Amino acid sequence: MAKAQEPEKAGFRKRLREIGMVFAFTAKNDKLFVPLLIGVVLLGAGLTVLMVLLWNALFIAGGVMLTILGVLIVLNLRANSALMKEAERMPGAAAEIVARMRGDFRVTPAFVSTTQMDFVHLVLCRGGVVLLGEGHAGRVKGLIGQERKRLSKVIGSADLRDFMIGHGEGEVPIKKLRMTLMRLPRTLTGKEVNALDKRLKALNARPNLPKGAIPKSMRPPKGAFRAMRGGPR
């Protein structure tokens, strides 16, 4: 019996460590977190005392549960806010956010990128194909334009959208990225998403061959093709 309970204990301890890490991260990056937390605890304690005075001591457990619930709600809200602020300073964070979203969202981070830390992420979902741009707006828009032309040849009638991450006009702040993608109309079925996923992976797997004449250093020796055909040498 003791062995059967070990995984459960390990999972509970791991969960507690994760909550502790989130707590420390939020307290470090959000100045309002600790004051709000203290306020929730004081409010919960006040309500508990009031319920005990009005009714009986049995309401202590209810007051404690309400306080814990309030603490967890504040932690969740403020942690998400702190995480979004931190993500705005991290290149490529948009892909990580989409990868953690619930639902059928398939992301290819840095589908296209530059040495100047410009990224175009590819997202496939029930709403179609989405290109997410991060970095210098001028350079990224050029990359998005190229990818739209390339992808339009293989995605058929699926919707193709693009969003630029940022705070400028027409751009999507990273904290609103989840909601923006969740609100996309569902125009593809699960089977269509799977089929489109295979086509996009095949497209991405193709080597980008150089255009123009083949350099002499890369040309096969004379007679090589004749030898492969079994012809006279």
pLDDT digits (tens, 9 = 90+) for 98-152: 988 888 999 999 999 898 889 999 999 999 999 999 998 899 999 999 999 999 9
Q: Are residues 59 and 97 in the same domain?
A: no
- Average pLDDT of the segment spanning 180-202: 92
Q: Are residues 119 and 77 in the same domain?
A: no
- pLDDT score recorded for residue 164: 94
The answer to whether residue 155 is domain-embedded is: yes
The answer to whether residue 220 is domain-embedded is: no
Q: Are residues 122 and 184 in the same domain?
A: yes
DSSP label at residue 221: P
The number of distinct structural domains making up the chain is: 2
CA within 13 Å, CB half, 23: 10
The answer to whether residue 52 is domain-embedded is: yes
Distance CA 128, CA 123 (A): 8
- pLDDT score recorded for residue 10: 56
Q: Are residues 195 and 111 in the same domain?
A: yes
Contact between 158 and 196 under an 8 Å Cβ cutoff? The reply is yes
Contact between 17 and 23 under an 8 Å Cβ cutoff? The reply is no
Q: Which of 74, 78, 68, 70 is nearest to 31 (CA)?
A: 78
The answer to whether residue 99 is domain-embedded is: yes
Contact between 130 and 196 under an 8 Å Cβ cutoff? The reply is no
Distance CA 80, CA 69 (A): 17
Distance CA 170, CA 217 (A): 48
Query: What is the rounded average pLDDT for all residues in the chain?
Result: 81
Q: Are residues 56 and 130 in the same domain?
A: no
Domain that holds residue 71: 8-87
Token readout for 184 is 């996309």
Q: Are residues 14 and 109 in the same domain?
A: no
Q: Which of 126, 158, 164, 157 is nearest to 143 (CA)?
A: 164
Contact between 99 and 50 under an 8 Å Cβ cutoff? The reply is no
Contact between 77 and 47 under an 8 Å Cβ cutoff? The reply is no
The answer to whether residue 218 is domain-embedded is: no
Q: Are residues 58 and 118 in the same domain?
A: no
- pLDDT score recorded for residue 188: 93
Q: Following DSSP, what letter does each residue of 38-107 receive, concatenated?
A: HHHHHHHHHHHHHHHHHS-TTHHHHHHHHHHHHHHHHHHHHHHHHHHHHHTTSTTHHHHHHHTSSSS-EE
- pLDDT score recorded for residue 148: 93
Q: Are residues 102 and 192 in the same domain?
A: yes
Contact between 159 and 187 under an 8 Å Cβ cutoff? The reply is yes
The answer to whether residue 196 is domain-embedded is: yes
Distance CA 109, CA 121 (A): 5
Range scoring the smallest mean pLDDT among 11-25, 139-153, 179-193:
11-25
Q: Are residues 102 and 83 in the same domain?
A: no
